[in-house]
Structure 1
Amino acid sequence: MEKRKTLSKDEVLSFSNDIFKNFQGYFQLKPGDKVHLFIPIDKFKEVKTEFFIDYCLQNAIRVFVPKVLGEHLISVEIFENTAFETNHWGISEPVSSIDSGVLDFDYVLTPLLYCDSAGNRVGYGKGFYDAFFENISSTSKKIGVNYFNPEDMIDDVREEDIPLDYLVTPTEVLSFLGLK
């Protein structure tokens, strides 16, 4: 979090664009794919996912975003005209609370503070994404996006923590699949 705080708005935008380009080049999205991604929290300088959303919507790729209902994360499909509102945490979410019911995403992009070289991620501590990962198809690619490369091993990994399959940074795409 401290490293992220030092980034300027221009750096966040530039690095986010580089992350998108690396993702797009590596994963080769195609019409009909189902991509679940987060809406960034600007005050936390999260990776800007607007590049992903715009590209997907313009290329017939289905886009889903999270919405927190109580203690659960649901997946709402969005379109060009989807209305959004800001929740009590300051996160932009669709006004609709209709869960898409989709579990077989092709790609799930997840926010994170950092991850280690085994794909273990550290988020914000609420466990929403671990619970979400537990319920989606095992074939869905779980992808972290971050400005920085993996850190040292995370030593407090819990049994219920589900590691990432990939990490996309401004400079590379790392696979953790061979480590599982």
Structure 2
Amino acid sequence: MQKRKALSSDEAFLLSEKVFKNFIEYFKPFSGQNVHIFIPIIKFNEIDTKIFIDYFLSRNINVFVPKIVDRKLISVQIFNDTSFETNNWGISEPVSNEDSEVLNFNYVITPLLYCDQKGNRVGYGKGFYDAFFASISSESKKIGVNYFNPDEIVDDIYENDIPLDYLVTPTEVLSFLTKGLE
């Protein structure tokens, strides 16, 4: 969190663009696919996903964003004319509380504080994404995005924690799908 907050807004935007380019080059999303993507918390200097969302919407890729309703993360489909409001945590969310009930996503682009070299994700400690991951299709690719490459092991893993499949950084895309299968 400290390393991320130390980035200037210009540095964060340039790194976000690099993460975006690496994502597009590696995954090559196309029209008709379903992408679930978070809206960044500006005060936490998260990856700027507006770049992703604009790209997806301009290419007829179905875009879904998270919203917490009754202590559960739901998936709301958004469009170019979707209305948003800021919640109590300072997160921009769609005004609609209508859960799309889509469970089959091609990509779930996930916020995180850190991800280690095994795909273990450190979030904000509420468990919303682990519960969400458990509810969606196992074929959905769980992708973390971060400004920094992993260099430390996450050792406080809990029973309900679900690791990521990929991590996209400004310099590379790491896959955790083949680890331990060799």
Please give the range of the TM-score, normalised by the shorter of the 2 chains. over 0.9
Q: Counterparts of 2:135 and 2:14 in 1: how far apart (Å)?
A: 33
Q: CA deviation at 1:159?
A: 1.3
Report the TM-score, using the length of structure 2 for normalisation.
Answer: 0.98
Contact in 2 for aligned 1:114/1:151 (Cα 8 Å):
no
Q: Counterparts of 1:2 and 1:178 in 2: how far apart (Å)?
A: 31
Q: CA deviation at 1:71?
A: 1.3
1:27-84: CA deviation from partner (whole Å, max 9, x where unpaired): 0111000000000000000000011100000001000000001210000000000000
Identify the residue that residue 103 of structure 2 maps to in structure 1. Answer: 103
Unaligned ranges ≥5, structure 2? none
Q: Counterparts of 2:169 and 2:122 in 1: how far apart (Å)?
A: 16
Q: CA deviation at 1:151?
A: 3.0
Q: Counterparts of 1:152 and 1:146 in 2: how far apart (Å)?
A: 14
Q: Counterparts of 1:30 and 1:17 in 2: how far apart (Å)?
A: 19
Q: Counterparts of 2:52 and 2:5 in 1: how far apart (Å)?
A: 23
Q: CA deviation at 1:125?
A: 0.3
Identify the residue that residue 92 of structure 2 maps to in structure 1. Answer: 92
Moved over 4 A (4+): none
Question: What amino acid does structure 1 have at the position aligned with 2:15?
Answer: F
1:81-100: CA deviation from partner (whole Å, max 9, x where unpaired): 00000001110000000000
Q: Counterparts of 2:70 and 2:18 in 1: how far apart (Å)?
A: 34
For residues 138-153 of structure 1, what are the structure 2 equivalents within 5 Å? 138-153=138-153
Q: CA deviation at 1:152?
A: 1.3
Contact in 2 for aligned 1:32/1:61 (Cα 8 Å):
yes
1:112-136: CA deviation from partner (whole Å, max 9, x where unpaired): 0001100000000000000000000
Unaligned ranges ≥5, structure 1? none
RMSD (Å) for aligned C-alpha atoms: 0.7
Q: Counterparts of 2:106 and 2:85 in 1: how far apart (Å)?
A: 26
Question: What amino acid does structure 1 have at the position aligned with 2:11?
Answer: E
For residues 25-174 of structure 1, what are the structure 2 equivalents within 5 Å? 25-174=25-174
Q: Counterparts of 1:151 and 1:103 in 2: how far apart (Å)?
A: 32
Other structure's SS at 2:90 match: coil
